[in-house]
Chain A
Amino acid sequence: MNVGLEHYLVVSAILFCLGLLGVIVRRNLLVIYMGLELMLNAANLALVAFSRFNNNLDGQVFVFFIITVAAAEVAVGLALIVALYRKRQTAHVEDLTLMKL
């Protein structure tokens, strides 16, 4: 069977779910961030596959922008984690319950 758009979309969906699983299950802030990266990459894969199989280059431009925004997002997020760690001496979500009722 020829590899088509569906195959890439299935891989993308599974990768997205893996990232989501990491965000839900893991308790370490850094690993949660890596899960976010996995989800972004899954979206990128879907966009590139759509772009290829619809003969339209716009999807790849979107992926280019997503990669740039993701780089900025990672920089800001990691700076936030470092600032948090400096204040609270922890990078675990279970220790960060200030807003819990």
Chain B
Amino acid sequence: MSDILFYIFAFLTLVFGFLVVLNPFSQNPVTSAMFLVLTIASLAALFVLLHAFFLAAVQVLVYAGAVMVLFLFVIMLLDLKAEERQKIKAFSAGAGFLTVAAILFIFLQSLLKSPLGAEPTPQLEGGTLALGKLLFTQYFLPFEVISLVLLVAMVGVILLSKKELK
């Protein structure tokens, strides 16, 4: 059952991911943003299949919620109607495809060649309890530092969006 669900959601993730970067029907950034939301939602489903329940919730809350709202706000803020004109150039698209295909080939080759030390029957449960215990004991210092990172980012964003930079 979970195998079928994996195939369904992996397929959805990849299709939506492709539609984010190359949508044949529309070059509009809003369409890309909407497909990014769908990609992130199906990734959260994959996290659930991996028993990472807390991370699936965080993924939906932070990415599909906060980050995408930010993206849509900025898209609305910049008037991008005149920006749709520029088409993708054939040469750069071809070079990009070639590069990415080569990198994908290297990835898959190394995946095939490497012995993966995976256990046949995984037991791990990524619930809030286990993750919270780890976050507040072993990873307490990084946890505090990350809050500082968020504070610095907030101050930086406020400074950047002031009318005149000095």
- Interface residue ranges, A against B (CB under 8 Å): 2-11, 13-22, 24-28, 30-31, 33-35, 37-38, 41, 44-45, 48-49, 51-58, 60-61, 63-65, 67-76, 78-83, 85, 90-92, 94
Contacts and interface: CB of A to CB of B under 8 A. Distances in A.
Contacts of B54: 60
A19 B19 CA distance: 11
A83 B17 contact: no
Contact of B117 (A16, A19, A28, A54): A54
Interface in B73-102: 74-75, 77-78, 80, 83, 86, 88, 92-93, 95-97, 99-101
Interface string B3-43: 10011001001100110111000010100110010011001
Contacts of A8: 46, 50
19 contacts: A4-B118, A7-B6, A18-B20, A20-B99, A30-B74, A34-B20, A34-B33, A35-B20, A44-B43, A45-B43, A48-B126, A52-B51, A65-B142, A67-B55, A68-B146, A79-B157, A83-B161, A91-B78, A92-B83
A21 B49 CA distance: 27
A49 B47 CA distance: 8
A55 B119 contact: yes
A56 B111 contact: no
Main SS at interface, chain B: helix
A76 B108 contact: no
Q: How large is the interface on B (under 10, 10 to 19, 20 to 34, 35 or more residues)?
A: 35 or more
A19 B92 CA distance: 16
Contacts of A19: 17, 21
A53 to B, nearest CB: 4
A38 B36 contact: yes
Given A45-B43, A57-B124, A79-B160, A30 B29 contact: yes
Contacts of B160: 76, 79-80, 82-83
Given A17-B103, A60-B131, A45 B46 contact: yes
B70 to A, nearest CB: 6
A14 B104 contact: yes
Given A8-B46, A64-B58, A76-B156, A38 B70 contact: no
Contacts of A79: 156-157, 160-161
A7 to B, nearest CB: 7
B55 A54 contact: no
Contact of A75 (B29, B111, B153): B153
Given A21-B97, A83-B160, A48 B55 contact: yes
